[in-house]
Structure 1
Amino acid sequence: MLQSFLGTINTRGYPDRHCLTDWNVIGEWDGSFKLQHAQSRKFICFNKRARITLRFNGHDEKCTFHEEIRDNGYSRIRSNWKSTLYLGFNGRGRFQNPLSYYMKPRCFDWIKLVRYVPESEMHTCDSKKPKKKVQIHHSKTIHTALRNDFLRKVSATNDSIYIPH
């Protein structure tokens, strides 16, 4: 799955990591669209060297794409900036150079998965869920009893648990 992780884009994402793999598709009036990462609010764009980057400002033509639906059921994402640039990734999840489109066409095939996200879950991405802490009420009597029991077990006397048998 397409993910944005530590400022880079790759396709090594897992379906259960929604904070990394959720993307908003923002449609334009002419049928083109922009891909915006749901958590970071950054857009996928091509740079001047035809590599992909993440930008906060998605108003540039380098950040808009067109979808081409293929006969085999897959889609291809073509850049509006240069019609010869397609968005693709190799088998290891790394960005595929758009110049290799005709040599490795399967690296540019996409399947879309749509997931409904309720408004309450829209921008919440906790790295770890906090564990509930159990409150222990300390009392001097319990502390002394536990301490004495522990010391009795580890002591080198006759009633110790370390007596050789």
Structure 2
Amino acid sequence: MINKFANGSIIWQLYNHCSSAFVQTYFKHADASGHQASHCLTDFIVEFDSKHRLRLKNIFTENFICFNKRQRIAIRRDGLDEKCHFRERITPSGYTQLQSAWRPYLFLGFNRRGRFQDPSQFKKKKRCFSFTKLVRHASSSSVLLNECSNPQKEAEENEKINLEAERQRLLYNAVRESLLGQIRVRP
């Protein structure tokens, strides 16, 4: 079973060296084109089991990064399947590689555009399967989740968007009236 840490959770952000961006999950997709500041998409709670395998669970959506039966990346709600477990390998240069516990020859990787990299390219493109992990410790995942789903913050953002849309509409109408006025004056 998965160990729960009494002191809180371990949070990882994974920086992919091929895409020069962070691994993120949204809806049913995962890629490596995230930004460090977007914690809701790029933060993963790391859960270890008794066999020293890990699972990556997105802090906001609570979905897991897994492989599917065709050996492609998949996002699943239930991470208990063997396809959702990884083993962490540290390279001699200090980078992290995530090896599938389901099939040992599968590694998690992303290409230069941030899309899933075919695991058969592991020997040719090792850099695309290497990550730098940023580790944080959180006393409670609910605190981190509240940062992602703060209704007051969302309301403020929506208000800013509405004000900007109104400002642009007024500016557009002013420029339009000015141009129409110039056209009307010409004989």
How does the TM-score come out when normalised to structure 2? 0.66
Question: Counting helix residues as a fraction of each chain, which structure ranks higher?
Answer: 2
Larger radius of gyration: 1
1:129 pairs, out of 151, 154, 159, with 154
Partner of 1:35: 56
Question: CA deviation digits over 1:77-120, x for unaligned, max 9?
Answer: 10011010000001111110001111111100011101244535
Q: Distance in 1 between matches of 2:156 and 2:59?
A: 26
2:78 pairs, out of 57, 63, 70, with 57
- The residue correspondences of 1:73-112 to structure 2 (distance < 5 A) are 73-112=94-133
Partner of 1:45: 66
Q: Distance in 1 between matches of 2:130 and 2:149?
A: 32
Distance 1:131 1:42, change over 3 A: closer
8 A contact 2:25–2:41 mirrored in 1: yes
Displacement, 1:131?
Answer: 2.9
Distance 1:28 1:48, change over 3 A: same
- The residue correspondences of 1:139-158 to structure 2 (distance < 5 A) are none
- Unmatched tracts of structure 2, length 5 or more: 1-21, 160-187
> What letter matches 2:86 in structure 1?
F
> What letter matches 1:126 in structure 2?
S
> What letter matches 2:119 in structure 1?
P
Question: Counting strand residues as a fraction of each chain, which structure ranks higher?
Answer: 2
Which structure's relative contact order is higher, taking Cα pairs within 8 Å and 6+ residues apart? 2
Q: Distance in 2 between matches of 1:42 and 1:131?
A: 27
Identity %: 40
Displacement, 1:5?
Answer: 2.2
8 A contact 2:44–2:59 mirrored in 1: yes
Partner of 1:157: none
8 A contact 2:97–2:131 mirrored in 1: yes
Q: Distance in 2 between matches of 1:13 and 1:38?
A: 14
Moved over 3 A (4+): 116-120, 126-129
Q: Distance in 1 between matches of 2:122 and 2:38?
A: 29
8 A contact 2:26–2:61 mirrored in 1: no
Distance 1:129 1:117, change over 3 A: farther
Question: CA deviation digits over 1:111-150, x for unaligned, max 9?
Answer: 11012445352222138532398xxxxxxxxxxxxxxxxx
The alignment's C-alpha RMSD in Å is 1.9
Question: CA deviation digits over 1:39-74, x for unaligned, max 9?
Answer: 111111100100011111111110000011110111
